[in-house]
Structure formats: C-alpha cells, structure tokens
Amino acid sequence: MILEGIVTSVSSSGEINVAPMGPIVDESMKELVLRPYKTSRTYQNLREKPQGVLHVTDDVLLLAKAAIGELEPLPKMIPAEKVSGWVLESTCRWYEFEIASLDDSQDRTHIQANVVHRGWRRDFFGFNRAKHAVVEAAILATRIHIVPRDEILSELERLRIPVQKTAGPSETEAFDLLLTYVSRIVDSTPDS
C-alpha cells in the first residue's frame, strides 16, 4: 500500500530537504520503497547520502507547503536518533531509514530502504474530508507537469466541496495555498 507522508533528507553539503512522498509500505513498516523522480532534490540527496526520515503526520498545511516548495523558514526539527538526518517536531510518528538498494534506470527511481529506528511524538489526530481533499490537491499540484491541466482544474473544483464543508482554518489555508499555486502555473503556461 502507499502511505502518504513527508520525507526529510540531507545533501552531502548538509542542506535539509522536506518533501511529501508516498512510499510503498506494508503494515510492519520495516521496509519502504521510495519512488522519487530523478529530477527531485529527495532523489539527489538520497543518492549522495543514503538515509532519511519518513514522517506520518496529520498536518496538511505542512504537507501542502512542502509539496509546492514554500517552506520558508523550514519547520522546527530535532536530530534523528540512528541516522544522520532530521525529525519534524510536528510529526505524529517517524521512521528513520537507510537505503538498501537504488535503481535509477527509469525516470522514477526505485529505492528500497530498511527502517532502522522508529519514534512517536504525538497521537495522530485523524483525517476529516477536508484533510483528505488537501492531500489529494497537494498530489495534483506536484503532478501539474504531467497531468492535463483541465483534469487538474476539474479535480480541484471537486475537492473544493469537502474543504468548504468540513475544513478548519489550517485546511482552508492549505487548500487556498495549493489553488493559488496551481492557478499561477496554469495562467503562465500556454494551452497545449
């Protein structure tokens, strides 16, 4: 199954990257399969420094900001315990991992990772319909270069309804942020 989360990775020069990622996992959470594109900072960091941290969080505003690269300043973090990496303070739980194998023969890489440590910071609040909608909108925002824009705009309109009905302030801010980002790109891109 795919578990939507946030991965922190560190470049060889020490620069921290925070990115949403949906690794393939099983219920044991002992291994992860990450599939970043070769153009991503996450891929570059994991290739340079083969370890990182997967976070499970219900903070959809953080996920939305990470999806569109608007995390200035970076969120608060603490050092990981078993890998040279960082744990998001606002996470619910985390999984520190080391890369076992990396296949980058395709545009979307296949990275097998072993979990070497796990931790817990707080209970997972849960997802209402608005939180789910924000997660889906964030995924769409990261696919804007590969999914037809009419399809993205139509899907965002559909997702707007549960946000309007069930969102709190954080979900509303996250969804509006994603809408603004997508609109800016769509408006600046000629019709294809």
Q: Encode the chain (192 residues) as per-residue pLDDT tens digits.
A: 999 999 999 999 999 999 999 999 999 999 999 999 999 999 999 999 999 999 999 999 999 999 999 999 999 999 999 999 999 999 999 999 999 999 999 989 999 999 999 999 999 988 799 999 999 999 999 999 889 989 999 999 999 999 999 999 999 999 999 999 999 998 887 665
pLDDT at 191: 61
Residues 34 and 77 in one domain: yes
Residues 41 and 73 in one domain: yes
Residues 21 and 77 in one domain: yes
CATH number (domain holding residue 172): 1.20.58.290
- Which residue, 64, 90, 120, sits at the end of a domain? 120
Whole-model pTM?
Answer: 0.92
Whether 77 and 89 have beta carbons less than 8 Å apart is answered as yes
pLDDT at 125: 87
Residues 113 and 149 in one domain: no
Torsion of CA 173, 177, 178, 182, to 10 degrees: 150
Residues 47 and 136 in one domain: no
